Amino acid sequence: MKHTLSVLVENKPGVLARIAGLFSRRGFNIDSLAVGITGDPDISRMTITVDAAEHPIEQVTKQLHKLINVIKITDLDPDNTVARELSLVKVGTDARTRGEVMQIAEIFRASILDVGRKSMTIEVTGTTEKIEALEQLLKPNVIEIVRTGRVAIERGEK
């Protein structure tokens, strides 16, 4: 089962290494990781997606809590969370296929960032499923994909 952990940390050198090291030491693979500052410049937020059975995720969050620079950890409830990621997809196109790719982009509410003679770069934002669906459609002609990690926030006023 995939878990999305939202982790507030002190913005101090070495914090990312401590957290990444802890996951690998305890046998977890990080699927995706996004780090950014919060409203308070002394505090950063890490959004970490990991694959885990229920029991070990509890163990790893407890171990995370033991890191001195970790302030708060939330294991986000997927039913009560909005999550997004962003993908930049470079697709090989020519005059013949350009129109079709633009149509697909429109359906996915993706925007076109760059058009060249033989390629086109699309920016798409959305859930993992949406991005994967788009990538699947474009797959035969994809030159390169660059994806961010997932960021997520709880619904409601909390």
Partner 1 sequence: MKGSEIIIESLKAAGVDTIFGLPGGMVIPLYDALYDSDLRHFLARHEQGAAHMADGYARATGRTGVCIATSGPGATNLTTGIANAYMDSTPMVAITGQAVSPLIGTDAFQEADVTGITEPIVKHSYLIKGAKDIARVFKEAFYIASTGRPGPVVIDIPSDIQLADIEYKPAGRLDLPGYKPTLKGNMKQIRSAADAIAAAERPVVYAGGGVITSGAEKELLALAKLMKIPVTTTLMGLGAFPENNDLSLGMLGMHGTGYANYAVTNCDLLIGVGARFDDRVTGKISTFARHAKKIHIDMDPAEISKNVPVDIPIVGDARDVLGGLVAELKKKKRNPKQTAAWFDQVIAWKQKHPLHYRDLKGSIMPQYVIEEVNKITKSDAILCTDVGQHQMWSCLFYTHIKPRHFISSGGLGTMGFGFPAAIGAKVGRPDMTVIDIAGDGSFQMNIQELATAVCYDIPVVVCILNNGFLGMVRQWQELFWNKRYSDTVISCQPDFAAVAEAYGALGMTITDKKDVGEAISTAIKSKKPAVLDFHVKREENVFPMVPAGKSIDEMIGGHK
Does 95 bind partner 1 (CB under 8 A)? Our answer is no
Where does this chain touch partner 1 (CB under 8 A) — which range of 9-17, 31-39, 92-100, 134-142? Answer: 9-17
Q: Which of the ranges 44-52, 64-72, 86-94, 149-157 carries the binding residues for partner 1, by CB under 8 A?
A: 64-72
- Binds partner 1 by CB under 8 A, chosen from 1, 68, 140, 158: 68
Helix (H) or strand (E) holding 120: strand 119-126
Q: Which is nearer to partner 1, 38 or 80 (CB)?
A: 38
Q: Tell me: does residue 71 bind partner 1 (CB under 8 A).
A: yes
Q: 91-103: buried (b, 16+ CB within 10 Å) or exposed (e) per residue?
A: bbbeeeebeebbe
| 117 backbone dihedrals φ, ψ, rounded to 5° | -65, -40
CB 51 within 8 A of CB 92: no
Candidates 2, 27, 51, 65; binder of partner 1 (CB under 8 A) is 65
Between helices 54-66 and 15-25, what is the axis angle to 10°? 150
Question: Rounded to the nearest whole angstrom, what is the least distance from the CB of residue 3 to partner 1 in the complex?
Answer: 17
The DSSP letter of residue 45 is E
